[in-house]
Chain A
Amino acid sequence: MAVNPKKLRPYDEPPRPRGSMIPGAPDTAARGFTVMAMLWLAAATGIGLLWVGMQLFGDQLAMTFEIPMPVGDPLNMELSAATVGAGFTNALVYGWIGNAGLAAIFFITPRILGVRLADEPMAFLSLFVWNVGVAAGIGIVYLPSIAATGMLSEFPLPVDGVLLLGLLLATYVFFRTVLEARDRMPYVSVWFFGLALLGLLGAYTLGSGFPVLNLGEAPDALVAAFVARAIEVYWVMGVALGALFYVIPRATGNALYSSPLALVAWLLWAGFGAISVVGALVDSSVPYAITSIGNAGTILLVAPIVLAVANLAMSLQGRWTLALAPGAVGFALVSMAFALATVVLEAIGALRSVQGLVSGTEWPMAVWLFSVGGFSTFALYALLDHAGPRLFRRDWRGSVLTDAQLWATFSGVTIAGLALMAGGLAHGSLIRDGAPAAQISSTMAWFWVAAGGGLGLVALGGLSALVGLFLMYTTAHRAEYSVGSGATATAAGH
């Protein structure tokens, strides 16, 4: 019997299905991490510009505010080169690379393994928790009385707890997905992501837990240096390599040149990376030989990166013309170039004679910028260029903004990195010659101006990426990438 809905009384209406507070549709988490990554990139580059300004006009720009507290003494908020520098590095590593890396993991893993992400709501929860932690931490680095010390270890214990919770949730989702897939030999990207997550989790746990033991300033500083290096080697490089190994075959439609070679690169990276991290332990309390073996590990790290880059380059065979057009392949190629530059410069910097000259100068920051802003950022740009239309279901082939993103970021990182590198060498030489502080700062100002210009271009590149994402979402036609058969999935480039 037909029912006239207008005659239904309220209690006859079927109950509305109640949606979960935490969304669980496929790719929800990856989408969220992508958006947050772009926002953090814009924030990080903005803070980076302020940091360069602090180096040049520290006296004029430095400020201290007093924040009244309802209970106890007021808190001092300090805007100085040290605090803004900490804000920059943390926003770049935890905000940008952290979110973009997790977006890459949650986008790639289900597609490689052929299963849905296990517990998508949990992955979405990790997005929320992680970003709350990062935002709180970056706010607190400007409060010296609360913040901890050491590069990438500045967040206080409660914030560390929040970040660790977010990371634990993400790691749980990743490994549950891997286990559910029952693939005994998953594609190499999964191996890179697994170790990257475990490396970040382990390093971060050590960095936040060790100071609780109160063993003194020097042991704390040593552990902080160890943690910063471990995060760079395992997290920053790991997600970049995992993303590149996925993007290049997908964007070119080629097979990978050699899977066994990729696994050898993974094994060498895992092993030599662990040795390389020991090289960060530079203190009179650490036996010289131990630090030297760690430095040798940094030199050995050249091998896996060169093997990985060569493997990826050979996978491009016959599709090199794709590099000429802006897009995933172009970004990936720039990332590979920065990867080689990073490991070679790190190997040079690991030599004792070079270390003696450049230690405490701008050189280590320059190499770090090549690694984080060049190698990893471009790998994640490549992945997001490929994944963006699929995540947001838009028919989008890029625009002039993709060109701007590529060239502004490439020239910016190169200029800033080279300026800081040259500045580091000049600084080291001036210190060695016993030059007075005034002479050092006037000489270094020129290098900082160049570095500032470079970081400005990087900010412009990041802004182009953010605007590009917005335009894609708002102007492009809707397209369906979620498909039900293998043939169409291949056609869609999944």
Chain B
Amino acid sequence: MTVRTPIESRTRSVPVWAMAFTVVVLVIGGVYAGGNLSGENPPIIGEPSVDTSGQAIAIMTQAQCYVCHGPDLMGNIGPSLRGVINGPVSENLQALGASNPDDWAHLWIAGTDPALAGLDRGGMPVFADPPSSLTDDQITIVVDYLKSLQ
């Protein structure tokens, strides 16, 4: 036979501290929700986007890009690198931009592709060759970073 042995309660009310604590947590939750209403979630499928800007800056510092293009990449001896995503600004790169709209910047920085034959580099080093010897992946990281700049 199962016998009922009830569990008693010492108090018959909800303590004030419990109500106060709940209100405080509600306020914190409400403030959080209110401050995070706009934005975009990352996709659930596929690789999450990775922020490689730190790595891009490190590569560009090592390759001394900032010497010619300015500390803020707004231009110095070389042209501004802001707005790369909109295509090349320099006159001599227009044809390259038209024939390779997606990877013209990559080709131009690497500097070894036959498509660049006859183009005046205007002092721009061939970064795929020594002394910089940037790899394809490193150039991709730099180009992605430049495309993110406005």
Does chain A have a CB within 8 A of B43? Answer: yes
Q: A450–B121 Cα gap in the complex (Å)?
A: 53
Contact of A360 among B21, B48, B52, B141 (CB under 8 A): B48
Complex contact B48–A359 (CB within 8 A): yes
Does chain B have a CB within 8 A of A397? Answer: no
Q: A484–B52 Cα gap in the complex (Å)?
A: 72
21 A-B pairs within 8 Å (CB atoms) are namely A26-B2, A217-B45, A218-B45, A250-B7, A258-B11, A258-B12, A260-B9, A260-B12, A288-B39, A289-B37, A291-B41, A296-B32, A303-B21, A306-B25, A351-B32, A352-B39, A359-B42, A431-B50, A482-B1, A483-B1, A483-B3
Complex contact B26–A484 (CB within 8 A): no
B120 smallest CB distance to A (angstroms): 33
Which residues on A sit within 8 Å (CB–CB) of B55?
433-435
Which residues on B sit within 8 Å (CB–CB) of A225?
44
Chain A residue at minimum C-beta to C-beta distance from B30: A296
Which residues on A sit within 8 Å (CB–CB) of B21?
303, 306-307
Does chain A have a CB within 8 A of B54? Answer: yes
Q: A260-B13, A282-B42, A351-B32 are in contact. Are A255 and B3 (CB under 8 A)?
A: no
Contact of B33 among A296, A482, A489 (CB under 8 A): A296
Question: When A and B form their complex, what is the total count of cross-chain residue pairs whose Cβ atoms lie within 8 Å?
Answer: 155
Write the B1-17 contact mask toward A (1 if CB under 8 angstroms, else 0). 11111111111111100
Q: A297–B25 Cα gap in the complex (Å)?
A: 10
Number of interface residues of A (CB under 8 A): 64
Complex contact B3–A258 (CB within 8 A): no
**Most chain A beta-carbon contacts within 10 A, residue among B42, B54, B56:** B42
Does chain B have a CB within 8 A of A77? Answer: no
Which A residues contact B (CB, under 8 angstroms)?
Answer: 26, 110-116, 187, 217-218, 221-222, 225, 246, 249-250, 254-261, 264, 268, 282-284, 286, 288-289, 291-293, 295-297, 299-300, 302-303, 306-307, 310, 315, 351-352, 359-360, 431-435, 482-486, 489-490, 494
Q: A246-B7, A307-B18, A434-B50 are in contact. Are A484 and B43 (CB under 8 A)?
A: no
Number of interface residues of B (CB under 8 A): 43
Does chain A have a CB within 8 A of B29? Answer: yes
Q: Which 7 A-B pairs have the closest CB atoms?
A: A114-B4, A434-B55, A259-B9, A296-B33, A434-B52, A292-B36, A255-B8
Does chain A have a CB within 8 A of B91? Answer: no
B16 smallest CB distance to A (angstroms): 11
Q: A393–B10 Cα gap in the complex (Å)?
A: 31
Chain B residue at minimum C-beta to C-beta distance from A225: B44
Q: A268–B19 Cα gap in the complex (Å)?
A: 11
Complex contact A218–B54 (CB within 8 A): no
Complex contact B41–A288 (CB within 8 A): yes
Complex contact B15–A297 (CB within 8 A): no
Complex contact A282–B41 (CB within 8 A): yes
Complex contact A282–B52 (CB within 8 A): no
Does chain A have a CB within 8 A of B22? Answer: yes
Q: A254–B11 Cα gap in the complex (Å)?
A: 12
Chain B residue at minimum C-beta to C-beta distance from A275: B29
Contact of A484 among B1, B7, B29, B36 (CB under 8 A): B1
B140 smallest CB distance to A (angstroms): 11
Contact of A434 among B12, B14, B54 (CB under 8 A): B54
Chain B residue at minimum C-beta to C-beta distance from A265: B18
Does chain A have a CB within 8 A of B40? Answer: yes
Q: A299-B28, A431-B50, A434-B141 are in contact. Are A255 and B44 (CB under 8 A)?
A: no
Complex contact B5–A221 (CB within 8 A): no
Does chain A have a CB within 8 A of B72? Answer: no
Chain A residue at minimum C-beta to C-beta distance from B4: A114
Q: A434–B39 Cα gap in the complex (Å)?
A: 24
Complex contact B18–A264 (CB within 8 A): yes
A351 smallest CB distance to B (angstroms): 7
B17 smallest CB distance to A (angstroms): 8
Q: A225-B44, A297-B29, A434-B52 are in contact. Are A288 and B5 (CB under 8 A)?
A: no
Complex contact A113–B9 (CB within 8 A): no
Q: A268–B22 Cα gap in the complex (Å)?
A: 9
Complex contact A222–B44 (CB within 8 A): yes
Contact of A307 among B10, B22, B54 (CB under 8 A): B22
Which residues on B sit within 8 Å (CB–CB) of A359?
42, 48
Complex contact A303–B22 (CB within 8 A): yes
Contact of A218 among B3, B26, B44 (CB under 8 A): B44
Complex contact A494–B8 (CB within 8 A): no
Chain B residue at minimum C-beta to C-beta distance from A352: B36
**Most chain A beta-carbon contacts within 10 A, residue among B6, B41, B51:** B41
Does chain A have a CB within 8 A of B86? Answer: no
Does chain A have a CB within 8 A of B99? Answer: no
Write the B88-106 contact mask toward A (1 if CB under 8 angstroms, else 0). 0000000000000000000
B42 smallest CB distance to A (angstroms): 7
Q: A187–B30 Cα gap in the complex (Å)?
A: 32
Does chain A have a CB within 8 A of B38? Answer: yes
Complex contact A288–B38 (CB within 8 A): yes
Which residues on A sit within 8 Å (CB–CB) of B28?
299
